[in-house]
Amino acid sequence: MNRWRVVSITAAASLAACFGHPAPQQSRVMHGDGLTDLAEARADFRRGDFSKAQLELRRVQFELAASQPEVAEARYLIAECDFQMGDHSAAALEFRKVADEFPGSPYASLSLLRSGDANLRLWRRPELDPTPGQTALATYQELQGRFPGTPAATRAQLHVRQLNEWFSEKDYKTGMFYFRRHAYDAAIIYFKDIIASFPGSKQVPDALLRLVDSYHAIGYAAEMRDACENLRRYYPKTSELDHHCPPSMTAPPSAPPPAAEVGLDSTAHTQ
CB 60 within 8 A of CB 41: yes
**Is 167-271 CATH 1.10.530.10?**
no
Cβ partners under 8 Å of residue 248, min gap 6 = none
Determine which of 55-69, 134-148, 216-230, 256-270 has the lowest per-residue pLDDT on average.
256-270
| pLDDT tens, position by position, 74-95 | 999 999 999 999 999 999 999 9
Count CB atoms within 10 A of the CB of residue 64: 22
CB 152 within 8 A of CB 109: yes
Mean pLDDT of 36-60: 95
| pLDDT tens, position by position, 209-243 | 999 999 999 999 999 999 999 999 999 998 889 88
| pLDDT tens, position by position, 94-125 | 999 999 999 999 999 999 999 999 999 999 88
Q: Measured between alpha carbons, how far is 97 from 78 in angstroms, rounded to an integer?
A: 11
CB 72 within 8 A of CB 62: no
Question: What pTM did the predictor assign?
Answer: 0.73
CB 213 within 8 A of CB 223: no
Q: Measured between alpha carbons, how far is 134 from 257 in angstroms, rounded to an integer?
A: 42
Q: Measured between alpha carbons, how far is 78 from 82 in angstroms, rounded to an integer?
A: 7
- Give the chain's mean pLDDT: 83
Q: Provide the 8-state DSSP code for 258.
A: P
Rounded to 10 deg, the angle between the 151-180 and 107-122 helix axes is 20
Question: Domain-by-domain residue ranges, the chain?
Answer: 167-271
- Residue 248: the pLDDT is 72
| pLDDT tens, position by position, 162-200 | 999 999 999 999 999 999 999 999 999 999 999 999 999
Q: Measured between alpha carbons, how far is 67 from 144 in angstroms, rounded to an integer?
A: 27
